[in-house]
């Protein structure tokens, strides 16, 4: 298939979903053009990786002034700030030209931040009376995320953002879900959340996240005893809340039984609140900031802990740890996005007490760690292989195109 893939940010290993969609679609033999925005020279240089795969790249800069102007324009509009945050008129004009000059089998637009491009392209295609399906990947229901954040976030930034964005996002997501030929989400929970916002039927499909099973893999090196790891982008409000809950509410019970346990909090841009966790617990908590390779920490620690208090979609940190053979203790907030069979592949905790007991049990029981290591790897191999997911995505593109053709024939 010939696919125009629009991402409002450069796909990277941190932006795992679009990065792997593009890579694995190309590996499966599809022809892709990537249209995106870069903010730093490092991001601009990263585009060479896609060009080396034979992917044509159209990229424009998104400056700080662009973003400030976009935020100022969104405030009085009543639309979510995120929906306007990445608007770049030059990229929009280039997309217009591409739709007129090239032949595509599908247009894929990523995230709420890219939704304005999706609306723009849907209008441009309609004006040309073309039959190119536009697929918008919502990824998660941001409304569902913000509703949880409003109740449970411990991040001041998260609370402020939620109070402003929640009513705007609730209205806009409900409208968006009915505008496109197909809408994608990562989990059944997010599908149900979006469907609640739409007055009529919406063509929403679940396409889960996967794991690059060759990249995230176990190794034979011995793990450090009595070590825990929590990973993710540490400026994200849901991760900040999880880190605070982990250290303030769960770890005291762990340290009461095993005072030497070390906790690694691994991920870029830790907030001052997260950094303070290491300052207050210098012998037990290490906050790394950005690291060159997350696998180093997943492979060397005894247990991965994912104490998510609220969230949406699939937690990649769970899948990546399981792929590396790292036993996982996770909150029940993450399991709604997993496939049947996960129950035997990780430990699930409902509160701080059960979380501490689950972590302690695994730290003490080498046989159970070994069992979960193998079961977790088997689970992701069975349910989260990007090769299978890329084929599923391509079939949705084809399904959307067939529906457009059939509808056109009926009208004729």
> Per residue in 227-259, pLDDT tens?
999 999 999 888 999 999 999 999 999 999 999
Torsion of CA 305, 311, 312, 318, to 10 degrees: 0
CATH superfamily ID and name for 227-383: Glycogen Phosphorylase B; (3.40.50.2000)
Contacts of 171 (CB under 8 A, 6+ apart): 78
* pLDDT value of position 201: 85
Lowest average pLDDT, out of 37-41, 358-362, 401-405, goes to 401-405
Q: Specify whether the CB–CB gap between 220 and 250 falls below 8 A.
A: no
Q: Specify whether the CB–CB gap between 285 and 265 falls below 8 A.
A: yes
Kindly indicate whether the domain formed by 2-210+386-411 is annotated with CATH number 3.40.50.2000. Answer: yes
* pLDDT value of position 313: 67
* pLDDT value of position 66: 96
Q: Is 126 exposed, middle or buried (0-12, 13-18, 19+ CB in 10 A)?
A: exposed
Distances (CA, A) of 314 to 44, 113, 311, 322, 384: 28, 19, 9, 13, 11
Q: Quick one: what percent of the chain has pLDDT higher than 70?
A: 98
Domain edges within the chain: 2-210+386-411, 227-383
278: left (phi over 0), alpha (psi -120 to 50) or beta: alpha
Cα-based angle 164, 165, 171 (whole degrees, multiple of 5): 125
The interaxial angle of helices 142-152 and 237-245, nearest 10 deg, is: 40
Cα-based angle 205, 24, 390 (whole degrees, multiple of 5): 25
Distances (CA, A) of 108 to 118, 217, 218, 249: 8, 29, 33, 42
Number of separate helices (H) and strands (E) present in the chain: 17, 13
Lowest average pLDDT, out of 46-55, 250-259, 304-313, goes to 304-313
* pLDDT value of position 412: 66
Contacts of 40 (CB under 8 A, 6+ apart): none
Q: Do domains 2-210+386-411 and 227-383 have the same CATH topology?
A: yes
Q: Specify whether the CB–CB gap between 297 and 285 falls below 8 A.
A: no
Give 3-state DSSP helix, strand, coil % of the chain, rounded to 5. 55, 15, 30
CA distance 189 to 363: 32
Q: pLDDT-based confidence at 410, cuts 50/70/90? A: confident
Q: pLDDT-based confidence at 339, cuts 50/70/90? A: confident
Q: pLDDT-based confidence at 151, cuts 50/70/90? A: confident
Distances (CA, A) of 256 to 261, 277, 357, 402: 10, 17, 11, 61
Mean pLDDT rounded to a whole number for the chain: 93
Residue 169 Cα to chain centre, angstroms: 18
Q: Specify whether the CB–CB gap between 132 and 107 falls below 8 A.
A: yes
Q: Is the pLDDT of residue 157 over 90?
A: no
């Amino acid at each position: 298939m010939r696919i125009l893939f629009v991402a409002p940010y450069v796909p990277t290993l941190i932006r795992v979903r679009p990065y792997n969609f593009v890579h694995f679609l190309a590996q499966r033999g599809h022809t892709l053009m990537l249209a995106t925005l870069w903010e730093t020279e490092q991001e601009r240089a990263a585009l060479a990786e896609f060009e080396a795969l034979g992917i044509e790249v159209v990229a424009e800069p998104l400056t700080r002034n662009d973003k400030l102007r976009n935020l100022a324009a969104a405030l009085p509009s009543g639309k979510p700030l995120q929906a306007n945050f990445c608007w770049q008129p030059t990229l929009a004009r280039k997309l217009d030209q591409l739709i007129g000059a090239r032949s595509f089998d599908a247009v894929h637009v990523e995230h709420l931040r890219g939704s304005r491009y999706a609306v723009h392209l849907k209008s441009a295609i309609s004006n040309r009376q073309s039959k190119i399906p536009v697929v918008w990947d919502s990824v998660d229901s941001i409304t569902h995320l913000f509703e949880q954040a409003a109740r449970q976030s411990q991040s001041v930034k998260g609370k402020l953002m939620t109070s402003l964005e929640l009513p705007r996002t609730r209205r806009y997501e409900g409208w968006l879900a009915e505008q496109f030929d197909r809408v994608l989400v990562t989990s059944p929970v997010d599908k149900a959340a979006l469907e609640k916002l739409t007055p009529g039927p919406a063509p929403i499909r679940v396409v889960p996240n996967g794991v690059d099973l060759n990249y995230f893999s176990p190794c034979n090196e011995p793990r450090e005893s009595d070590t825990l790891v929590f990973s993710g982008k540490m400026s994200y409000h849901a991760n900040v809340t999880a880190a605070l809950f982990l250290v303030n509410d769960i770890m005291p019970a762990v340290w009461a039984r095993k005072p030497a346990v070390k906790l690694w909090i691994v991920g870029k841009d830790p907030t001052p609140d997260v950094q303070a966790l290491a300052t207050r617990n210098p012998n037990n908590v290490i906050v790394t900031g950005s690291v060159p390779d997350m696998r180093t920490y997943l492979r060397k620690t005894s247990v991965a802990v994912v104490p998510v208090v609220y969230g949406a979609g699939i937690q990649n940190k769970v899948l990546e740890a399981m792929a590396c053979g790292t036993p996982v203790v996770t909150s029940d907030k993450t399991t709604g996005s997993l496939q049947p069979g996960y129950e035997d592949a990780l430990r699930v905790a409902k509160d701080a007490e059960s979380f501490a007991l689950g972590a302690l049990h695994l730290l003490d029981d080498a046989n159970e760690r070994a069992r979960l290591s193998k079961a977790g790897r088997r689970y992701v191999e069975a349910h989260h292989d990007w090769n299978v997911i890329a084929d599923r995505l391509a079939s949705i593109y084809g399904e959307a195109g067939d529906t457009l053709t059939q509808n056109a024939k009926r009208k004729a």
